[in-house]
Amino acid sequence: VWTSGLLRYGPHAVRSDLDPEAKRRLAVFLTNLKSTTPDIYDLLESRHSGGFARVAPKDYEMAAAIVRFVSERGPQQ
Split into its structural domains, the chain has a count of: 1
pLDDT for 18-54, tens place per residue? 999 999 999 899 889 999 999 998 888 877 777 777 8
> What does the pLDDT average to over 13-21?
92
**Four-point Cα dihedral 50, 55, 57, 61, nearest 10:** -40
Task: Count Cα atoms within 13 angstroms, Cβ side, for 63.
Answer: 9
pTM greater than the 0.75 cutoff: no
Q: Is residue 69 part of a domain?
A: yes
Give mean pLDDT, residues 57-72: 89
Tell me how far apart the alpha carbons of residues 44 and 39 are, in angstroms, rounded to a whole number. 9
Domain of 40 in residue numbering reads as 20-73
In a domain, 34, yes or no: yes
Does the residue 4 lie in any domain? no
- How many other β-carbons are positioned within 10 Å of the β-carbon of residue 62? 10
Domain-embedded: residue 43: yes
12 falls within a domain = no
> Is 67 among the domain residues?
yes
Could you tell me if residue 11 is inside a domain? no
